Amino acid sequence: LAAPDPRQAEHAAAAAPAGGTVCVACRSGRVDTDGYCENCGHAQPRERDHMERELGAVAAVSDRGLRHHRNEDAFAVSSTALPDGSPAVVAIVCDGVSSASRPDEASAAAAAAADASLLESLPRGTHPQQAMHEAILAASEAVNALAQGPGRAMEHDQHRHQNAPACTLVGAVMAGGLLVVGWVGDSRVYWVPQDRAHPAARLTEDDSWAAQMVATGLMSEAEAYADERAHAITGWLGADAYELEPHTASFKPDRPGLVVVCTDGLWNYAEAAAEMAAAVPSDAYERPLRGAQVLVGHALDGGGHDNVTVALLPFAVPSHGAGSACPAG
């Protein structure tokens, strides 16, 4: 047997007298149940402060950022097979609404429910766009359930709509030569062609005050996004949401490219499609995890004012699928 690491033994000895986890900052104080050191007050790293996952043709990174005390984003990446045996790749990204209660729980519940729904419906042969619609409904139900306190029926809980847990959701599915996106809120999907001579494009439209002002012609895009109300969302998942209107869209790219699925913690620092393309490293198609790491670093270097989450899906055109319209137009 290998000899024990003396550093681990020293750490265990230091932690034991405190009756719990020892602080990573002062290395002497005990960490309380809220995750703060009772000696120096330092907030301890949480599991969700920084998360990374790479799964074959998809990778995702999520970071707490530099200003928030916790990470209220969540993601899920997975893969499955269609009935004909061809692959289907899934990425779901959710952003908890900070002004609501338990936003971290809302985003985690939504991401898990949407992912599970897609993994159940796609192998059954459900069309990917319909599967995405159903996944958003499943995510909505999961978030709504958080507003139901233990042991009481939701329909009889008159307070459930007050500050109910809430989040946004955006997702992408690559299956059968199709790229399907779905969303509620202001998290986004961008398309970045592998050949940067072709233009990038944003594939989603925000459910936000600014987008509403631009759509109705009341403001220019520059005016709307300069307003302090710009990022107020008009659509979200949660028991206190307006009538749920899941958005879905389907594309059939005619060239390889990178699908960027992200929260506003990233796109605030690369809002236009061309800016996002410029931030994506040139080797991200071949190395999506490194590409996601670089993009999160781009947001942190810009100030990291919000939680940052991005998933990258390299899209390869099937050999029989050339000749159809590309999302970038």
pLDDT per residue over 84-123, tens digit each? 999 999 999 999 999 899 999 999 999 999 999 999 999 9
Say yes or no: 184 and 252 in one domain. Answer: yes
Say yes or no: 245 and 96 in one domain. Answer: yes
Look at residue 163 and tell me whether its pLDDT is greater than 90: no
In angstroms, the CA 272 to CA 263 distance is 14
Lowest-pLDDT range, 34-43, 214-223, 277-286, 316-325? Answer: 316-325
Say yes or no: 141 and 234 in one domain. Answer: yes
Look at residue 325 and tell me whether its pLDDT is greater than 60: no
User: Looking at the domain assignment, is residue 324 inside a domain?
Assistant: no
User: Looking at the domain assignment, is residue 17 inside a domain?
Assistant: no
Say yes or no: 294 and 163 in one domain. Answer: yes
Per-residue model confidence (pLDDT) at position 41: 82
Say yes or no: 175 and 293 in one domain. Answer: yes
Number of domains in the chain: 2
Which residues make beta-bridge pairs with 182?
171, 248
Say yes or no: 220 and 152 in one domain. Answer: yes
CA angle 190, 301, 293 (to 5 degrees): 55
Say yes or no: 38 and 100 in one domain. Answer: no
Look at residue 159 and tell me whether its pLDDT is greater than 60: no
Say yes or no: 39 and 160 in one domain. Answer: no
How far does the chain reach from its first CA to its final CA, in angstroms? 61
Say yes or no: 129 and 27 in one domain. Answer: no
The residue range of the domain holding 243 is 56-315
Per-residue model confidence (pLDDT) at position 64: 96
Q: Among residues 292, 231, 314, 318, which one has the least CA distance to residue 50?
A: 292
Segment 255-259 mean pLDDT: 97
**Residue 231: pLDDT band by 50, 70, 90 thresholds?**
confident
User: Looking at the domain assignment, is residue 167 inside a domain?
Assistant: yes
User: Looking at the domain assignment, is residue 31 inside a domain?
Assistant: yes
User: Looking at the domain assignment, is residue 327 inside a domain?
Assistant: no
3 state SS for the chain? CCCCCHHHHHHHHHHHHHCCCECCCCCCCEECCCCEECCCCCECCCHHHEEEEEECCEEEEEECCCCCCCCCEEEEEEEEECCCCCEEEEEEEEEECCCCCCHHHHHHHHHHHHHHHHHHHHHHCCCHHHHHHHHHHHHHHHHHHHCCCCCCCHHHCCCCCCCCCEEEEEEEEEECCEEEEEEECCCEEEEEECCCCCCCEECCCCCEHHHHHHHCCCCCHHHHHHCCCCCCECCCEECCCCCCCCEEEEECCCCCEEEEEECHHHHCCCCCHHHHHHHCCCCCCCCHHHHHHHHHHHHHHCCCCCCEEEEEEEECCCCCCCCCCCCCC
Segment 10-37 mean pLDDT: 67
Segment 278-289 mean pLDDT: 97
Say yes or no: 304 and 249 in one domain. Answer: yes
Say yes or no: 68 and 41 in one domain. Answer: no
pTM (2 d.p.): 0.83
Per-residue model confidence (pLDDT) at position 1: 44
Say yes or no: 41 and 60 in one domain. Answer: no
